[in-house]
Chain A
Amino acid sequence: MTAVAIHAGPARRVKARRVLPGFGLAMGGTLLYLAIIVLLPLAALLLKSAEIGPEGFLRLLASPRVLASLQLTVSAAALATLFNAGYGLLMAWILVRYEFPGKRILDALIDLPFALPTAVAGIALTALYAQNGWYGQILEGEAGIKVAYTIIGVAIAMAFTSVPFVVRTVQPVLEDIQPDVEEAAATLGAYRGAIFRKVVFPAIFPAYLTGCALAFARSLGEFGAVIFIAGNLPFKTEIAALLIFIRLEEYDYPAAAALAVVLLAGAFCILLVTNAIQAWHMRYRMKG
């Protein structure tokens, strides 16, 4: 990726002479496509929400139902991410470090939640966790834990659809760690737990954080898998994405747009955070 400046000049970031053809075409095509398909609709959204002004915007967001839905969405997404933080780390670890029969199938299964349409996941999870489902009968009948139509159900649906993120971000980094470092530590008599804490974990930490952030972002916006299992109780299990949908049904475009902007801003912040983590990680690697 090092650009060789052919003639001396201040412009270090711009390649002085482009060797390869196709820059103009690729640039023009990419920008045109992004403008039409991505940026134009987003501009429409921002324009619509700008119509109501900052005051109106805040008033809409301060309505109890909106606040409740945002709170629920963030809490459920946090729960889901917490689960994936544990489960994802475990799966990445055993898939990289151990050999066992059926490992390849297990590895492929991790991507199932991405491949499976969310609506399908939604009805399947509902059938599973509802009062008369396989798990629901046990959880509700035996343990008295209600899952479907509660925040737990919302979190389960979110966790399901965002499973691959943590596993897939941690896996390659874990593969890159040279086992000799660990072996050296081991021969020095270090304990397993200590090795993991002092050697392995710091190395995978940035990727791990990125994976968790991505899983969290996906959970915030998830719709299809959640609406079937949530029960959509205002103030209890109504997610922000569904409230947008409801606001549209009530012809309340400004409110729908305002909420959409909030979700958009949340996604954007997370995108920036993950980019920052990656940049930091690059520097970390350089030093290492």
Chain B
Amino acid sequence: MKKIVSLATAALLFAAPVMAQDKAPAEILNVSYDIGRELFAQVNPVFAAEWKARTGQGIEIKQSHAGTSRQARSIMEGLQADVVTFNQFTDVQVLADKNFVAKDWQKKFPNNASPYYSLPAFLVRKGNPKNVKDWSDLVRADVKSVFPNPKTSGNARYTYLAAYAFALEQNKGDQAKAKDFVKKMLANVPVFDTGGRGSTTTFVEREIGDVLITFEAETNGIRREYGDKGFDLVTPSLSVLAEFPVAVVDRVATKRGSQQVAQAYLTFLYSEAGQDILAKNFNRVHHPKVQDRYKAQFPSLKLVTVEDVFGGWEKATKDHFAEGGILDQVFVNR
């Protein structure tokens, strides 16, 4: 019996390389956030072409997308990721704490290792029938908003923090009033999906809710994807800067000998070509030339950071997202 099990396992392991047709000589795995699918599907072939031109070596970049907390867990459990491209600091930091990425990962690449940034923005139905303009409209009894579960989604954590920051600003820093504000806002959410893409499906396909709150990049992507259904973008007066940190997963990359190409892949995101693809997909970038090129599609607004308002991610997690934190309190009392 044991023999059969081990034989079958061996057969599976042998079958694996055979199964992938015309496998490139090398491949790396980019483990990423839930709604980065379309973006990296565009980035990967351009990088692969550039890498081949430079080194003569073919490369294939595999993608894996889900909520980033889940992704980080999978990597700690043994998912062989060469690089991570996440949407929040915490989940990369978890990997650093467990020695999967360098302790000083934020210094390895420019701009705190974030090649691009975005912010929570609104998507409303054609013609904005509910006349939603800002965060304050989301606590109205007649407005239903849709965003994922802040417990599992980095995307939703930004949304929650942006609403909180807005309420603090409105109420001159009164924490109790801010708490009350997010409580009202959460009570107006009919469905919580586990990841950003689930919420998009709920809002677009199932036609639930009046406002979808997700990254600006996603709101634009949806409008492009569903041109026939018709949606309008709304940029609130204030939002939280959402960094998209990247890192090489050293522990895996050293073992697989993919250090060099992993490094090159992430560096490519900072190049003009890379930044152009990012901006084309409605992510905000730092490259001056590219910034100029796409100026028109990025309305200006007041952007605050997690550092400024909440004293950094570690503190924000402890205060708001941990078991029994403010998020749990405002959820529970519904």
Decide if A and B are genuine partners: yes
Task: List chain A positions with a Cβ less than 8 A from chain B.
Answer: 29, 32-33, 36, 63-65, 126, 130-132, 148-149, 231-235, 242, 245-246, 248-252
Query: For residues 208 through 245 of chain B, which have their beta carbon under 8 Å from a beta carbon of chain A?
Result: 208
**Are B192 and A232 interface neighbours, CB within 8 A?**
yes
Smallest CB–CB gap between A264 and chain B, Å? 21
Q: How far is the CA of A246 from the CA of B69 in the complex (A)?
A: 10
B66 nearest in chain A by CB position: A249
Determine the chain A residues whose CB is within 8 A of the CB of B5 once the complex forms. Answer: 33, 36
B96 CB-CB contact with A under 8 Å? no
A246-B152, A249-B69, A250-B69 are known contacts. Are A132 and B206 too (CB-CB below 8 A)? yes
A148-B206, A249-B67 are known contacts. Are A231 and B190 too (CB-CB below 8 A)? yes
Q: List 28 A-B contacts (CB under 8 A).
A: A29-B1, A36-B5, A64-B332, A65-B328, A126-B206, A130-B205, A132-B205, A132-B206, A148-B206, A149-B190, A149-B208, A231-B192, A231-B193, A232-B149, A232-B191, A232-B192, A232-B193, A233-B192, A234-B192, A235-B332, A246-B151, A248-B73, A249-B67, A249-B152, A249-B194, A250-B69, A250-B151, A250-B152
Determine the chain B residues whose CB is within 8 A of the CB of A249 once the complex forms. Answer: 67, 69-70, 73, 152, 194
Q: Which of A32, A63, A65, A248 contacts B1 (CB 8 A)?
A: A32
Determine the chain B residues whose CB is within 8 A of the CB of A231 once the complex forms. Answer: 190-193, 202
B22 CB-CB contact with A under 8 Å? no
Q: How far is the CA of A132 from the CA of B151 in the complex (A)?
A: 29
Determine the chain B residues whose CB is within 8 A of the CB of A32 once the complex forms. Answer: 1-2
A130-B206, A231-B202 are known contacts. Are A251 and B94 too (CB-CB below 8 A)? yes
**Are A234 and B207 interface neighbours, CB within 8 A?**
no
Smallest CB–CB gap between A209 and chain B, Å? 36
Smallest CB–CB gap between B183 and chain A, Å? 13
Secondary structure at the B interface, as helix, strand, loop or mixed, is loop
Determine the chain A residues whose CB is within 8 A of the CB of B149 once the complex forms. Answer: 232, 234, 246
Q: How far is the CA of A65 from the CA of B334 in the complex (A)?
A: 12
* A232-B192, A233-B190 known, 7 other contacts, Cβ within 8 Å: A231-B191, A231-B202, A233-B192, A234-B149, A234-B151, A248-B70, A250-B152
Determine the chain B residues whose CB is within 8 A of the CB of A245 once the complex forms. Answer: 194
B323 CB-CB contact with A under 8 Å? yes
Give 6 closest A-B pairs by Cβ, nearest first. Answer: A231-B191, A249-B70, A29-B1, A130-B206, A249-B69, A249-B152
B189 nearest in chain A by CB position: A233
Smallest CB–CB gap between B326 and chain A, Å? 15
**Are A63 and B323 interface neighbours, CB within 8 A?**
yes
Smallest CB–CB gap between A222 and chain B, Å? 17
B331 CB-CB contact with A under 8 Å? yes
Determine the chain A residues whose CB is within 8 A of the CB of B189 once the complex forms. Answer: 233
Q: Which of B152, B205, B332 contacts A65 (CB 8 A)?
A: B332
Q: How far is the CA of A126 from the CA of B67 in the complex (A)?
A: 22
Smallest CB–CB gap between B254 and chain A, Å? 24
A249-B67, A251-B94 are known contacts. Are A131 and B190 too (CB-CB below 8 A)? no
